[in-house]
Amino acid sequence: MASRSVNKVTLLGHLGKDAETKFTPSGQSRSTFTLATNRRWKDQQSGEWKEETDWHNCVLWRSENVSNYLLKGKQVYVEGRLQSRSYEDKEGQKRYITEVVCEDLILLGGRGDSGGGSGGGDFSQEPMVSRPRSAQRPQQAPAAPAEDFNQGITDDDVPF
């Protein structure tokens, strides 16, 4: 019998702080951020509502432009996979960390979007999506009809 496995994470939450972007020696960008997800439930004994917040360490590769919009409090939708790794801290202790490696990211908006906001724009109308370059399809420019291509417009007609 063939064995199968799945490593899939889907999160919808708020950013805990602004994303930090660093570059590898080869020039590849690596943006990191924390994402908070909340869970609410009603306590069976007291009848009170309780809430618990989980924090997730997230990594987004090759998206240096998107990290400018990943600001504290913004709501994001993330799909990706879990990855665990180990490293040595400054005292020489071996540390382990589990991160969500983002494969899809959608900026949904969130806190600070109304009015002046905290920058980055309002993404509640049309979400911005970041996908790995391997998943992006090349966009083809629409071909202009041959008869409409030259309508006598010169550089003097352009307002800028």
pLDDT tens for the chain, 160 residues: list them: 678 999 999 999 999 999 999 999 999 999 999 999 999 999 999 999 999 999 999 999 988 778 889 999 999 999 999 999 999 999 999 999 999 999 999 999 655 554 333 333 333 334 455 555 445 444 555 554 445 444 555 666 555 4
Beta strands in the chain (DSSP E): 9-15, 20-23, 29-42, 49-61, 74-88, 94-110, 128-130
Residue 66: what pLDDT? 84
Distances in Å between the Cα of 52 and the Cα atoms of 9, 37, 42, 77, 97 are 19, 8, 12, 19, 21
In which residue are the tokens 């309780």 written? 50
Give the pLDDT of residue 63: 84
Please name the residues in contact with 10: beta carbons below 8 A apart, sequence gap of 6 or more. Answer: 77, 78, 79
Q: What is the pLDDT of residue 2?
A: 73
Q: In angstroms, rounded to a whole number, what is the distance separating the alpha carbons of residues 9 and 83?
A: 11
The DSSP code for 154 is -
Nearest to 71 by CA among 131, 16, 21: 16
Token couple for 124: 């509640």
Domains of the chain: 9-39+49-134 (2.40.50.140)
Amino acid at the residue 120 = G
Reported residue count of the chain is: 160
Instruction: Quote the pTM value.
Output: 0.64
